[in-house]
Amino acid sequence: MNRPNILVVNDDGIEAEGIRVLAEQASRIGDVWVAAPDHQCSAMSQRISIFEPLVIRRVDFPAPVKTAWSICGTPADCVKAALGHLLPVRPDLVFSGINNGFNTGFDIAYSGTIGAAMEGLMNGIPAFAFSNCYRGDFALIERELFPIMEELLAEPAGPGLIWNVNFPGGGLGDFRGILRDRRVAPTQLYLDHYTLEPQADGSLHMHNRGVPAAPDLAPEGTDVHAVLNGYISIGRVRCNVL
């Protein structure tokens, strides 16, 4: 069987540890190209750049990939640029991540990681999103990611759907297993917590410091409940326009 062509993208920036790990594991499956933002682009959803140019640079990348590009744009911009102009072939798969922070519950709506995967899906390419606990280590991912990739490649997500995989925090000793078919929780995992700072000119600076939810916040069967209780969460997310 021919090796698939895989586009790897993220929203944390091309220098993030997560995209290196994802590209490295993806290279065991197929031929990999990387197109990623040159800066942090979390919570950009599927935003694209309209009025400013996309500055694109070919860069060295610390994983066995065909080519890597750093793009001054959003995650969705990276997918558009890669599909329309950069890749010499049409990719068979789009892998997005590994995000620094969970993409579960209502937070999915804001996620640039999910946005990049949806951009791939809207172009007719099967897409997968991978996320980790915020500032989590990669020991569990290094062990479990490749077999999960193989499993999901053998089972298409279905029309208008992407696969969404979240790895829990903690070490290998805290890992409780894999929960599949998790539905999206009807809540945020990172609860909004805003603080206001009055400024000398009369304006206000408002900062959002998200507070992680308690393990019992979301009902069983959901992605939030799974990751907060030490499980890998595997589920599907629907594209609203397909």
- Structure confidence by residue, pLDDT tens digits, 66-84: 999 999 999 999 999 999 9
199 exposed, middle or buried (CB, 10 Å; 0-12, 13-18, 19+)? exposed
Q: pTM of the entire structure?
A: 0.95
What phi and psi values does residue 207 have, to the nearest 5 degrees?
-115, 135
Give the closest residue to 131 by CA, choosing from 110, 111, 160, 151. 111
Q: For 108-125, what is each residue's pLDDT tens digit?
A: 999 999 999 999 999 999
Q: Tokens 């933002």: give the residue.
A: 37
